[in-house]
């Protein structure tokens, strides 16, 4: 059986993931080129908006990259934006497993993965790390050019939970081995409808869910992405980072929904630690000193 080529933008050990996933040694992340969304504020726009960037690899070659990252001492293997290349990426993970990979595999996506996509990874993925970006379909279309977002995201996180369950509390406070951790990026001006997102998550997954509430929105990518200028003209609040009051409001929304298992970010440093630069061999070189 033949598989389409995998377009890989970068394969690096990354120290910037949530503590129980990256640990002290970091995650061996594979950043796949392209994305099925077009977020105008995407910090990985150099790869996500360019589906043929980087190397074209066979699943066998991609499996070798996975094993090489494991040999570098990574705590886990991360698949970043695999949705649109799911068939070939799943085969690469399968081959790496057959070759002896024992590290947890982290599926890191935008949260719009369909049932057929997720079915390919059932039994191959240990940790799901999806975004739940918006509580409004209208805003999802205007900022990410995706339709029916809320339904798709709710369906995806439910299926991810069915496969791996909740991240146990002891693993969330130590080293994560299996489970679901959902991310939500707080946008300025309440544009993400964070309160609705929190209510959907609580309703669908319950109070045992671990949630990463991110404060790292940065306006800089708007100057480099398709639709960025138009989005800024329509929503001028996108031209700034979030305020302390906005982040506190997001925290209150999570707690009001009953979600108290939270990873939070330091608002003072989150937007200024740096943005990745995929023109460099190590796009996250700044992370080691931040």
Round the average pLDDT of the chain to a whole number and report it: 95
By the 10 Å C-beta count (0-12 exposed, 13-18 middle, 19+ buried), 91 is classed as buried
pTM (two decimals): 0.95
* H or E segment to which residue 208 belongs: none
H or E segment to which residue 91 belongs = helix 86-98
Phi then psi for residue 42, to 5 deg, are: -65, 125
pLDDT at 273: 61
Local confidence band at 289 (pLDDT 50, 70, 90 cut-offs): very low
Over 90: is that where the pLDDT of 201 sits? yes
Q: Give the model's confidence band at 257: pLDDT under 50 very low, under 70 low, under 90 confident, else very high.
A: very high
Query: With the CA atoms of 85, 26, 170 and 114 taken in that order, what torsion angle do they form, in degrees rounded to the nearest 10?
Result: -10
Going from the C-alpha of 131 to that of each of 107, 128, 214, 261, the distances in angstroms are 11, 10, 10, 16
User: Is the pLDDT confidence value at 243 over 70?
Assistant: yes
Report the pLDDT value the prediction gives residue 269, as an integer from 0 to 100: 76
pLDDT score recorded for residue 288: 46
- What pLDDT, in 10s, does the model give residues 165-189? 999 999 999 999 999 999 999 999 9
Q: What is the pLDDT of residue 272?
A: 61
Confidence of residue 281 (pLDDT cuts 50, 70, 90): confident
Q: Report all structural domains of the chain as residue ranges with CATH numbers, in order of start.
A: 6-289 (3.20.20.70)
CA dihedral 68, 69, 72, 78 (to 10 degrees): -160
């Amino acid at each position: 059986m033949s598989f389409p080529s995998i377009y890989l933008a970068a394969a690096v050990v990354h120290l910037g993931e949530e503590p129980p996933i990256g640990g002290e040694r970091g995650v061996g992340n594979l950043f796949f080129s392209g994305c099925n969304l077009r977020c105008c504020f995407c910090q990985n726009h150099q790869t996500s908006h360019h589906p043929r960037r980087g190397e074209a690899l066979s699943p066998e070659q991609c499996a070798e990259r996975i094993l090489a990252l494991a040999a570098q001492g990574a705590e886990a293997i991360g698949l970043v934006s695999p949705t649109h290349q799911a068939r070939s990426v799943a085969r690469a993970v399968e081959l790496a497993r057959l070759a002896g990979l024992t590290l947890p595999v982290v599926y890191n996506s935008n949260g719009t993965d369909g049932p057929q996509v997720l079915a390919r990874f059932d039994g191959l993925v240990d940790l799901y790390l999806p975004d739940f970006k918006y509580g409004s379909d209208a805003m999802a279309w205007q900022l990410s050019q995706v339709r029916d977002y809320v339904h798709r995201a709710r369906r995806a996180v439910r299926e991810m939970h069915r496969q791996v369950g909740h991240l146990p509390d002891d693993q969330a406070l130590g080293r994560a081995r299996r489970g679901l951790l959902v991310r939500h990026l707080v946008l300025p001006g309440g544009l993400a409808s964070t309160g609705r997102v929190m209510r959907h998550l609580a309703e669908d997954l319950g109070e045992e869910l671990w949630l990463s509430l991110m404060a790292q929105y940065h306006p800089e990518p708007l100057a480099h992405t398709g639709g960025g200028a138009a989005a800024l003209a329509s929503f001028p609040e996108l031209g700034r980072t979030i305020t302390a009051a906005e982040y506190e409001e997001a925290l209150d929304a999570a707690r009001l929904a009953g979600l108290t298992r939270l990873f939070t970010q330091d608002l003072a440093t989150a937007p200024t630690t740096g943005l990745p630069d995929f023109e460099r061999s190590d796009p996250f070189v700044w992370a080691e000193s931040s």
